[in-house]
Chain A
Amino acid sequence: MTARQRVGRMAGSRGAGLVVLWLVMLITFGLWIPAAFSLQVFTSVLQFSTILALVTLGQTLVILGGGGGIDLSVGGNVSLSGLVLGFLLVHGVGVWLALAACIFAGAVLGAVNGFLVARVGMMPLIVTLGTYFAYNGLALAVTGGAPISGIPQWFNWLGATTVFDVPVHVLLVLVPAIAVMVFILSETGFGRWVYAMGTNEAGARLVGVPVQRLRFSFYVISGVLCALAGIVSTSWLLSARPDVGTNLELESLAAALLGGVSIFGGYGSLGGAILGAYFLVALRTGLQFANVNSIWQVGLVGFFLILSVLLGRLAGRR
């Protein structure tokens, strides 16, 4: 089955579930707080979504590649690479060099996961659980828990300005990232390989797919996307917070699974995952509008994480 047929079939089954969830949410909020449907809220959802959407792209790729692929270290990676950027900017390093260093840092952090998973042959779950604590802990430890502030004001244009009510980072970072990833997954041999090894790894290996090298690259790509998220958050807040990535692993997993990606790999699309990410952020924004305690959100994300897998079962897949 080709990737395209897969996407088509998904639209018929799991995608439908997410669309229903979207409708339920929109109608609920529409009746509850009609004022929520304004351009301002629309902009705010876009503003808040970029970080999660970027991370979800990487998470989805890692999961699609199968072999128990999962990246729990994304949150710590976003925090740490953001700290690298903030530190360099505060110390007067040129902006392009600082951005490059940030992306490099994200790639290295991802490569650590990739090396341990693909080369040493350890389970992704336990590797990234270890790096989850290592990265999050490192971010807190090197800063002593305090944010790095004093980043030059002008850096804010990427993260906190809009063009026709659309945040600049959506246009300059998120849309290109989605376009590149979707192109790679649906139009290139690399993308076919991802689905092939996610569906049947032994088979893919036998026909010559470089499974190890691909899997290594998934984690590096996920790391780079985390660094992009770190750039957006640093530029938006004008400070690098060591806890900015908190709960991103939970949310990105929930987004990908809500979007119809099979946790066993080989099945699902980036479009669905992005739709899942926007669902979570829209839900959160709506709840904020309705003055619901923000603590509910973690619980709701957890709930949707489990629900999304259950929905997948009902849709009749493995």
Chain B
Amino acid sequence: MQEATVSDGRFGRVMVVVARREVILVLACAAASILFATLSPYFLLGSNLVGVARNSIELLIVSLGMAFILATAGIDISVGTGMGVAAVCIGYAVQAHWPLEAVAILGPIVGIVLGCLSAVSVVYGRVPPIIATLGLYGIYQAAIFLILRGQWISGLPGTLDPIVNGRILDVPVVLLVILALYLIGYVVLRWTALGTAVLAIGGNEDAARLSGIDVIRTKFFVYGMTGLLVGIAAVLYVGRYQNVETGVGGTLALNAIVAAILGGSTVTGGRANLVGTAVGVLLVQILQNGFVLIGLPSLWEQVVIGALLIVTLVVDALIMRVRAQAVAV
């Protein structure tokens, strides 16, 4: 099960598989698009495709962090309700007519604080990540309800419009932000010691510690960074919808995990594929959009996503087994 891609001679072969994975995902996106295009005349409309892209924004940003956390063999279930908490803070700040810069900074700060909470319980409490973040998920959910008292924050002024609708050289600012984040993530992961440390911890934490990697700092980095991304996602969320509802971010965590795993991450850690993750997000969004268009009740969404996760994992496990046999022969 353990794949230590940084340390052993199989690195090249894993890279080959990784490359193939993105191709498979793109093909899956294309196949899904063709299917939905034949079933629904609306799917290929420009406005619908733009809608798919716009709906991917938060998930793209949060999945990037999730890929890093999964690479350390961690997991964060609390990102969804965490984004909710950040969105509530941002919502009140916008309502109080804070200036754009202050609001834009507030979100990431709240996010980093929440991410560090996860890191503290995982690192210093040595609580398994799933337990710690499941607990935090519940705490954040209660916090959202308690702060909002069951009511939505709605009718917010357009303070965040320059970020959400702004364009630089006719390219949406949001797209530039996402591209920049993925580029930074890619550089950190592939070309810095920090990225190597992230993968090494996921491959074998004890070995990583013994070889001098600062495990504590690295874990704080991945959870803190994910918090930061969650905060950014919250800013964009509030800016786009101009309201904050009590159920905000409900399925975000699962979707992010599914996207990252589709993209080639494993819960056992040591692997990350950011391009695959991004295409995974697109596939998830295309499926969700398509199912709505062909008239499947939105309640089925969760079933489809859950099934997609399991099917991906089974296929992965089978491929792994076949390959192990091939190597043995």
Contact = CB atoms under 8 A, between A and B. Distances in A.
B139 A120 contact: no
Contacts of A140: 299, 302
Contacts of A131: 306, 310
A126 B261 contact: yes
A74 to B, nearest CB: 13
Interface stretch (A13-21, A54-62, A301-309): A301-309
A130 interface: yes
Contacts of A134: 302-303, 306-307, 310
A127 B134 contact: no
Interface string B113-142: 000000001000111101110111111011
B302 A121 contact: no
30 contacts: A121-B317, A123-B267, A123-B268, A127-B313, A130-B306, A130-B310, A130-B313, A131-B306, A133-B254, A133-B303, A135-B306, A137-B301, A137-B302, A137-B305, A137-B306, A138-B303, A141-B297, A141-B300, A250-B135, A253-B134, A263-B131, A299-B139, A299-B146, A300-B142, A302-B135, A302-B137, A303-B138, A305-B131, A305-B134, A306-B121
Contacts of A250: 134-135, 137-138
Interface footprint category on A? 35 or more
A31 interface: no
Nearest to B149: A293
Interface residues of B, number: 43
Nearest to A140: B299
A279 interface: no
A122 B266 CA distance: 10
Contact of A136 (B136, B302, B313, B318): B302
A144 interface: yes
A296 interface: yes
Contacts of B302: 133-134, 136-137, 140-141
B110 interface: no
A298 interface: yes
A286 to B, nearest CB: 17
A132 interface: yes
Contacts of A306: 121, 125, 127, 131-132, 135-136
Point out which of A130, A249, A298, A305 has the most chain B C-beta atoms below 10 A from its C-beta. Answer: A130
Given A137-B299, A302-B136, A309 B127 contact: yes
B186 interface: no
A169 B75 CA distance: 38
Interface of B: 1, 75, 121, 125-128, 130-132, 134-139, 141-143, 145-146, 251, 254, 257, 261, 267-268, 297, 299-307, 309-310, 313-314, 317-318
Contacts of A304: 135
A147 B313 CA distance: 32
A116 B261 contact: no
B268 A298 contact: no
A70 B306 CA distance: 17
Contacts of B299: 137, 140-141, 144-145
A310 interface: yes
Interface string A100-136: 0000000000000000100011110111011111111
A309 B131 contact: yes
Contacts of B261: 126
